[in-house]
A and B are shown apart, each in its own frame.
Chain A
Amino acid sequence: MRILVVEDDKDAASYIAKALGEAGHVVDVAADGEEALNLANEAHEVMIVDRMMPKLDGIAMVEQLRAEGSATPVLFLSALGKVDDRVAGLQAGGDDYLVKPFAMAELLARVEALGRRKGTPETQTKLTCGDLEMDLISRDVTRGGQKIDLQPREFKLLEYLLRNAGRVVTRSMLLENVWDYHFDPQTNVIDVHISRLRGKIDKGFDLPLLETVRGAGYRLHAPD
C-alpha cells in the first residue's frame, strides 16, 4: 500500500515510516497539514494523521480533504484520548483513532484493516474464509458444510475477524469494534473469548483458521 504519514514530530514520523516500510508499504511523510494537502493524492490508500500539528491541525486538514472529495481512509493519531476527542476525530472524517502512546503492531494492524476496508463493500451478505462461511442474513455459520452454533457476541466477533480475514487484528481492535470498549482490561478476557470461538470453528478440523500472532493479536486466515 502507499501510505501518507502526516506527523510533525520528525522522530516519530521516521519510526512510523520505517515500520510501515518493513511491513512492505510505500510511505510518504508530510510534516504539517499544509504540506500534507499538497502531497495527498489518489495513489495513497491510507493516511495516518497526527491531530495536533503546526499551521493546519489534523482535524482541519482532514475536513478540508473530505470537502475536496477525497475518500482515502484516515487514521488519526492523538495524545488526546477522551471519548469526546475520539468523536471529534471521527466526525471530521477520520475512520479510526489511535491514542498515543501506542504499540507499532497496533498501528500496523489498524492500517491494514483500513486499507482493506476500501475493497470490501459493507453490503456483502456472505463472508468466507477457506471453508468457513457466514451468511449475514440468515445468520448461519458453517464450516465444511457443518453448521456451527454461535452466541450473539461470538457471531459478532467472528464477523469482525472474517471482514478482516488474512489481516492481524489486535485485542484493542476487537474490544473497540466488537464490545465498543475503548480501554484494555488487565485480564486477557479477549483471549478467552477467542479460545472459545476457536473451540467452535477449529476444533475437529484439520486446518486451524484462527491463529494467534505473538505480540500483536489474532489472524483468521485460510492457507492456500
Chain B
Amino acid sequence: MALGYAVLSIVSVTMLFALLYWNTAIFVAEQTEETIEAEITGLAEHYRQAGLFGLTEVIQERAQGQRLSLYLLTDPNRRPIAGNLNSWPAETQPGTWIDFDYQRPVGSRMVEHRAHARHLVLPGGFHLLVGYDVQDQVRLERRMRQSMIWIGALALVLGLGGGLLMARHWLSRVDSVNKTLSEIMDGDMSRRVPVSGTNDELDRLARNLNDMLNRIEALMTGLRQVTDNIAHDLRSPLNRLRTRLDVTLMADQDKEAYREALSQTVVETDELLKTFNALLLIGEAESGLDWSNLEWVDLTSRLGDVVELYEPAAEDAGLSLDAHIAEGLGVRGNPNLISQAVVNVLDNALKYTPKGGRVCVEAGIENERPYVLVSDTGPGIPAEERDRVLDRFVRLEGSRSTPGSGLGLSLVAAVAKLHQASLTLGDNKPGLIVRLDFPKPNGR
C-alpha cells in the first residue's frame, strides 16, 4: 500500500513537471520561430526591392556585434556572400527548419552553440539562412530536465518513506485491535480495544467495537443470569416433585391415593411451567432485545384495562381498588410487558393487603415524565429492606422459593430496566408504594 502511494505521488509530480516543461519549451521555440519568420520575410522583401546588393548590405549591418541572430547569404553554389556564419551548416531542403551547432566567439574562446534556422531560396538561386542562437533555451531545458529528475527522486524517497512510516503506524494500531479481538475470541471478554485519543477513523472504529463488546458482554451476563436463575428456580420444585412421586411408589396404595398424588403432581408441574415462562419473560425483558421494536403504548387505556380486570378480585378480597389515571398518557414500550408489570404489582398488593384495606392505582405526569404508582395499605416493606429488595431485583438473586412475589417483582424491575424507567419503593404509612417513572417522551 505504501509503495502504491509512493508510485502515485511520483507519477503525479513527474507529470506535473513534464507538462510545465513541454509548455515552456514549446512556447519559447514558437517565439523563436516567429522572430525568424518575421526577419526572413522582411529580408526577402528587401531583396525584391533593393536587389542583391541591398540585401548584402543589410545583412552585413545586422550581422555586426554580439547579437543572437544568425545570417548567411550564399550564391547558388552555397558559397558565402555575407553573414555572420562561416559556412552553410548542413545539407538542407529549401523552405525547411534546421537545427545545427556552430562555433561562437565568447570572449577569446570559441564555444559550440546550438542554433535554430530557416532556409529560403531567393529568386536568382541565392540561398538565405536566417537563424537564432538557442543555446540559452537548450541550457534551460537541460536544467529543467535535471530538476525533474531530482524532484522525482526526492518525491520517491519522501513518498516511499512517509508512506511506509504512515502504513507502519496504522498497521501497528490495526494489529493491536486484531490482537485484542483475538484475545476476546479466546475467551477474555473483559478486554477492550485501545483508543489512541486522536479521534480519527481508527479511533472511532475502536470506540464502536468497544461499544459493541460492552453490549455483547451485557447480553451474555444477562443470559448467564437467566440460566443460573432457571437452574435455581426449577431445581427445588423438581426435587419436591420427584420426592412426592418416589414416596407414592414406596408402598402399594389404593387407586384414589395414586390419583390424588398424580393430580397434585400436575398442579405442581403447572406451577413449574408458570415459573419457567415468567423466567423466560424476565430474561427477555432484561436482555433489552426488544428495545428496537417498542411501540407507542396508550398507558391510560392499558391501566384502565388492568384496573377493570382486578376490580372484581379486589372486591372479593374485601379491598377497595381506586384508580386516578390521567387522560392521554403514553410511553414508548412493549404494551404486553407494561401490562404485566402493573398486573404483578397489583397481584402483590391484593395478596398482602388485609381485608378492608385500600389499593390505589395512580398515573400522571410529573416533571414531564409519565409515572405509574400502585399503593396499598398492607404491611409494606421496611425502609432498610427496600434497598436490599431492589438490589435483589437487579441481580435477580435471593429467595424465590415461593413462586409469585419474588419473581413478580423481578419482572417489574426487568420491565422498568427495559423501558429505562426508574423503579422506587416507598412508604405509604402504612403500606407500600411501588412507583415507575418512565423517561421523558421525546418526539411524539
Among the stretches B15-23, B62-70, B224-232, B276-284, the one at the interface with A is: B276-284
- In the complex, which residue of chain A has the Cβ closest to the Cβ of B408? A186
Q: What B residues does A185 contact at CB under 8 A?
A: 309, 343-344, 347
CB distance from B378 to the nearest CB of A (A): 14
CB–CB A101/B305 < 8 A: no
- A183 touching B340 in the complex, CB below 8 Å, given contacts A83-B334, A189-B310, A192-B313: yes
A188 to B350, CA, bound (A): 11
In chain B, positions 165-207 with a C-beta closer than 8 Å to chain A are: none
CB–CB B312/A192 < 8 A: yes
CB–CB A82/B290 < 8 A: yes
- In the complex, which residue of chain A has the Cβ closest to the Cβ of B351? A187
In chain A, positions 186-204 with a C-beta closer than 8 Å to chain B are: 186-189, 192-193, 195-196
Residue of B312, B313, B343 most packed against chain A (CB within 10 A):
B312
CB–CB B273/A82 < 8 A: no
Q: What A residues does B280 contact at CB under 8 A?
A: 81
Q: Does B57 contact A (CB under 8 A)?
A: no
A195 to B313, CA, bound (A): 10
CB–CB A181/B339 < 8 A: yes
CB–CB A187/B313 < 8 A: yes
- A102 touching B273 in the complex, CB below 8 Å, given contacts A183-B281, A192-B316, A215-B263: yes
| The one of B263, B273, B290, B310 that contacts A187, using a Cβ cutoff of 8 Å | B310
Q: Does B270 contact A (CB under 8 A)?
A: yes
CB–CB B404/A186 < 8 A: yes
Q: What A residues does B344 contact at CB under 8 A?
A: 185-186
How many residues on the B side are at the interface (Cβ–Cβ under 8 A)?
Answer: 33
Q: What A residues does B235 contact at CB under 8 A?
A: none
| The one of A84, A186, A195 that contacts B347, using a Cβ cutoff of 8 Å | A186
Q: Does A131 contact B (CB under 8 A)?
A: no
Q: What A residues does B340 contact at CB under 8 A?
A: 181, 183
A83 to B334, CA, bound (A): 9
CB–CB A82/B284 < 8 A: yes
CB–CB A193/B347 < 8 A: no
CB distance from B299 to the nearest CB of A (A): 15
CB–CB B273/A101 < 8 A: yes
A192 to B347, CA, bound (A): 14
A186 to B271, CA, bound (A): 10
A192 to B276, CA, bound (A): 25
- In the complex, which residue of chain A has the Cβ closest to the Cβ of B272? A101
CB–CB A189/B336 < 8 A: no
Q: What B residues does A192 contact at CB under 8 A?
A: 312-313, 315-316
CB–CB A103/B310 < 8 A: no
CB distance from B80 to the nearest CB of A (A): 104
A32 to B351, CA, bound (A): 46
Q: What A residues does B404 contact at CB under 8 A?
A: 186
Residue of A81, A83, A196 most packed against chain B (CB within 10 A):
A83
Q: Does B293 contact A (CB under 8 A)?
A: yes
In chain A, positions 76-106 with a C-beta closer than 8 Å to chain B are: 81-84, 99, 101-103
| The one of B290, B293, B305, B336 that contacts A183, using a Cβ cutoff of 8 Å | B336
Residue of A83, A84, A183 most packed against chain B (CB within 10 A):
A183
Q: Does B387 contact A (CB under 8 A)?
A: no
In chain A, positions 102-152 with a C-beta closer than 8 Å to chain B are: 102-103
Q: Does A35 contact B (CB under 8 A)?
A: no
B interface: dominant SS: helix
Cβ proximity bits A156-197 to B, threshold 8 Å, 1 near / 0 not: 000000000000000000000001011111111100110110
- In the complex, which residue of chain B has the Cβ closest to the Cβ of A83? B336
- In the complex, which residue of chain A has the Cβ closest to the Cβ of B309? A189
CB distance from A195 to the nearest CB of B (A): 8
A99 to B308, CA, bound (A): 26
Q: Does A10 contact B (CB under 8 A)?
A: no
A215 to B403, CA, bound (A): 19
Q: What A residues does B334 contact at CB under 8 A?
A: 83
| The one of A99, A183, A187 that contacts B350, using a Cβ cutoff of 8 Å | A187
Cβ proximity bits B254-266 to A, threshold 8 Å, 1 near / 0 not: 0000000001001
Q: Does B142 contact A (CB under 8 A)?
A: no
In chain B, positions 328-364 with a C-beta closer than 8 Å to chain A are: 334, 336, 339-340, 343-344, 346-347, 350-351
Cβ proximity bits B219-254 to A, threshold 8 Å, 1 near / 0 not: 000000000000000000000000000000000000
CB–CB A189/B313 < 8 A: yes
CB distance from A168 to the nearest CB of B (A): 16
A192 to B346, CA, bound (A): 15
Q: What B residues does A153 contact at CB under 8 A?
A: 308
Q: What A residues does B270 contact at CB under 8 A?
A: 103
Q: What A residues does B310 contact at CB under 8 A?
A: 187, 189
A102 to B280, CA, bound (A): 14
A213 to B42, CA, bound (A): 129
Q: What A residues does B273 contact at CB under 8 A?
A: 101-103
- In the complex, which residue of chain B has the Cβ closest to the Cβ of A191? B313
Q: What A residues does B284 contact at CB under 8 A?
A: 82
- In the complex, which residue of chain B has the Cβ closest to the Cβ of A103? B270
CB–CB A193/B312 < 8 A: yes
* Extra inter-chain contacts (10) besides given A99-B277, A181-B336, A215-B266, CB under 8 Å: A83-B334, A83-B336, A101-B273, A101-B276, A153-B308, A183-B336, A187-B310, A188-B313, A189-B313, A193-B309
Closest A-B pairs by Cβ, 9 of them: A192-B312, A192-B313, A186-B347, A189-B313, A101-B273, A185-B343, A183-B340, A187-B347, A186-B404
Residues of B within 8 A of A (CB): 263, 266, 270, 273-274, 276-277, 280-281, 284, 290, 293, 305, 308-310, 312-313, 315-316, 334, 336, 339-340, 343-344, 346-347, 350-351, 403-404, 408
